[in-house]
């Protein structure tokens, strides 16, 4: 858009013309602004001398710092949505210092949902309108790879595929005397613990469905310290459009002063349970502990919460990925699904047979779980032709049935393994 021709006009008219031009430019910029609404909260310790009562100045200072922390958490959420985990890790320090640490630059406006003094801590919950376009520009300026970025929040589907449903992360934790939750009327993201677990799940390719504000409708007492019963968690997850419920309960508190330093320590203990919403099956349940340190009780507890979340996500990832493997990419190749696998020798022989087929440039293993392996043959050959090559091949490790469906996927069913004494492993392929 070109500017208005304001030069050459009388002084008053030129001033009016310039004002109109400014308004038009602002309107154009506003139309191009990519605003995302993010719910976030911040919790900080009220700074007072030991034994003293918090006065209005201390409380107002804590309120400002809690709001700044909420802004930072909101921007961090946008960064998570825009940047793939593999691209974020190498630039973690720059992102923290030059993007998340300057969060106010990206907040177009905000609305306070709640703010209150809770014991020695001050909590602020907000809805923030974050300029995602500015965030993208700032990320590009520090060299973050946005080519392999994650889906923006308004484009992310709650379910990635039939084999990998999204996750409802249901957290309730006591962090230094302040309750952090990811569901319920005042729940947002589960605090530092919830954000860290969510980031770990996203690194494994899972989509985490938003559950903040969703209230429990099924009145059923949970077993033990978990925030919800399995049935109540499944019902809430269903309303969030998720097929997996990850329940997290944790208690993280002060562990006293660290000798010889001005720091305080904190310890945490948590319980995590993963439930398949479709049939109510418990996929895994783990206990986890952590420790942390910081300048005060809340900082130390936040550090311990992050460590607890990192450990928890790491422990539940393997059984979750085994139960819900990632969709297999097939670009430029033919997908071969092998079912009934009981030993790797069968898969190794199948890889040799495929790699020797005319026109096959290579074979890669893309996913595996119990009794199932997916291979991708790098070839321009049609699935039907590749199927015929497999049918004509001789296998020494197992008797197999090979079919090619209308979906262009070759299916190899292992009927039964050949006893070791009868195997002729040199016959695999021609």
Which residues are paired to 365 by β-bridges? 375
Q: What are phi and psi of 292, to 5 degrees?
A: -155, 175
* pLDDT classification of 104: cutoffs 50, 70, 90: very high
Mean pLDDT over 279-298 rounds to 94
Q: Stretch 102-117: mean pLDDT, rounded?
A: 92
In this structure, are residues 169 and 183 in contact, taking their beta carbons and an 8 Å threshold? no
CATH class label, 35-156: alpha beta
CATH fold label, 158-327: Rossmann fold (3.40.50)
Q: What is the pLDDT of residue 264?
A: 93
With 0-12 / 13-18 / 19 or more C-beta atoms within 10 angstroms meaning exposed / middle / buried, residue 40 is buried
Q: Compute the average pLDDT of residues 132-153.
A: 72
| Among the listed residues 78, 90, 80, the one whose alpha carbon sits nearest the alpha carbon of residue 135 | 78
Beta carbons of 136 and 52 less than 8 angstroms apart:
no
Please indicate whether residue 408 or residue 25 has the higher confidence score (pLDDT). Answer: 408
Identify the band that residue 103 occupies on the pLDDT scale cut at 50, 70 and 90.
very high
| Strand ranges (E), 119-263 | 121-131, 167-175, 178-181, 208-209, 244-257
CA distance 229 to 280: 11
H-helix or E-strand spanning residue 133 = helix 132-141
Band (pLDDT 50/70/90 cuts) for residue 419 is low
Rounded to whole angstroms, the Cα distance separating 423 from 388 reads 23
Provide the 3-class DSSP secondary structure of residue 12. Answer: helix
The closest alpha carbon to 386, from 349, 358, 352, belongs to 358
Per-residue b/e over 245-273, b at no fewer than 16 CB within 10 Å?
bbbbbbebbbbeeeeeeebbbbbbbbbbb
Q: What is the 3-state secondary structure (H, E, C) of 317-363?
A: HHHHHHHCCCCCCCCCCEEEEEECCCCHHHHHHHHHHHHHCCCEEEE
pLDDT band at 2 (very low <50, low <70, confident <90, very high): very low
Q: List beta partners, residue 169.
A: 246
Can you give the pLDDT at residue 287? 96
pLDDT band at residue 178 under the 50/70/90 scheme: confident
Hey, is 213 helix, strand or coil? Answer: coil
- Positive or negative CA dihedral for 182, 122, 37, 100? negative
**Model confidence band, residue 195 (pLDDT cutoffs 50, 70, 90):** very high
pLDDT for residue 6 is more than 70: no
Tell me the sheet residues that pair with 128.
38, 110
What's the token pair of residue 117?
């003094």
- Domain ranges (residues) in the chain: 35-156, 158-327, 334-427
The pTM score is 0.62
pLDDT tier for residue 25 given thresholds of 50, 70 and 90: very low
Give the pLDDT of residue 44.
86
Residue 341 above 90 pLDDT?
A: no
Indicate if the pLDDT at residue 425 is higher than 50.
no
Mean pLDDT of the chain: 81
Instruction: Using the predicted structure, report yes or no on whether residue 430 has a pLDDT greater than 80.
Output: no
The pairing of strands 35-45 and 121-131 is antiparallel
Distance CA 354, CA 336 (A): 10
**CATH dotted code for 334-427:** 3.30.1360
Half-sphere exposure of 14 (CA within 13 A, CB side): 6
Determine contact, residues 409/330, Cβ cutoff 8 Å. Answer: no
pLDDT computed for residue 28 by the predictor: 41
Name the residue with higher pLDDT: 210 or 284.
Answer: 284
For residue 327, pLDDT beyond 70 = no
Residue 374 confidence (pLDDT) above 70: yes
pLDDT of residue 290: 96
pLDDT band, residue 265 (cuts 50/70/90): very high
Q: Given this model, what pLDDT does residue 8 score?
A: 55
pLDDT value at position 247? 97
User: What is d(CA 355, CA 357) in angstroms, rounded to the nearest whole number?
Assistant: 6
DSSP state of 81: H
């Amino acid at each position: 858009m070109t500017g208005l021709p304001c030069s050459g006009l009388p002084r008053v008219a030129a001033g009016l013309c310039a004002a109109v031009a400014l308004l038009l430019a602002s309107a154009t910029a506003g139309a191009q602004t990519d605003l995302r609404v993010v719910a976030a909260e911040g919790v900080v310790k009220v700074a007072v001398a030991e034994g003293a009562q918090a006065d209005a100045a201390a409380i107002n200072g804590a309120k400002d710092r809690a709001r700044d922390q909420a802004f930072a958490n909101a921007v961090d959420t946008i960064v998570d949505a825009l940047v793939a985990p593999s691209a974020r890790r190498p630039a973690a320090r720059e992102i923290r210092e030059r993007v998340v640490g300057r969060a106010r630059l990206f907040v177009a406006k905000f609305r306070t949902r709640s703010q209150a003094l809770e014991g020695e801590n001050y909590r602020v919950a907000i809805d923030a309108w974050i300029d995602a376009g500015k965030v993208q520009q700032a990320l590009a300026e520090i060299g973050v790879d946005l080519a392999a970025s994650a889906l923006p929040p308004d484009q992310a589907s709650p379910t990635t595929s039939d084999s990998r449903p999204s996750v409802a992360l249901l957290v309730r934790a006591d962090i230094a005397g302040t309750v952090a939750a990811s569901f319920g009327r005042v729940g947002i993201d589960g605090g530092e613990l919830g954000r860290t677990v969510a980031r770990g799940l996203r690194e494994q390719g899972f989509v985490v469905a938003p559950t903040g504000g969703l209230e429990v409708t099924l009145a059923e007492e949970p077993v033990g310290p978990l925030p919800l019963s399995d049935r109540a968690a499944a019902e809430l997850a269903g309303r969030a459009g998720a097929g997996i419920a990850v329940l997290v309960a944790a208690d993280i508190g002060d562990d006293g002063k660290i000798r010889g330093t001005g720091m305080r320590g904190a310890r945490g203990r948590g319980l995590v349970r993963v439930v398949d919403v479709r049939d109510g099956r418990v996929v895994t349940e783990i206990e986890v502990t952590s420790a942390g340190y910081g300048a005060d009780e809340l900082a130390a507890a936040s550090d311990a919460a992050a460590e607890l979340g990192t450990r928890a996500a790491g422990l539940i990832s393997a059984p979750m990925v085994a139960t819900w493997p990632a969709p297999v990419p097939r670009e430029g190749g033919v997908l071969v699904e092998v079912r009934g696998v009981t030993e790797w020798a069968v898969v190794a022989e199948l890889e040799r047979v495929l790699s020797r087929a005319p026109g096959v440039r290579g074979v890669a293993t893309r996913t595996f779980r119990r009794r199932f392996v997916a291979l991708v043959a790098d070839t321009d050959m049609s699935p039907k032709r590749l199927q015929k090559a497999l049918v004509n091949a001789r296998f020494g490790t197992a008797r197999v049935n090979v079919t090619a469906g209308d979906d262009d996927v070759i299916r190899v069913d292992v009927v039964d393994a050949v006893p070791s004494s009868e195997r002729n492993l040199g016959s695999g392929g021609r």
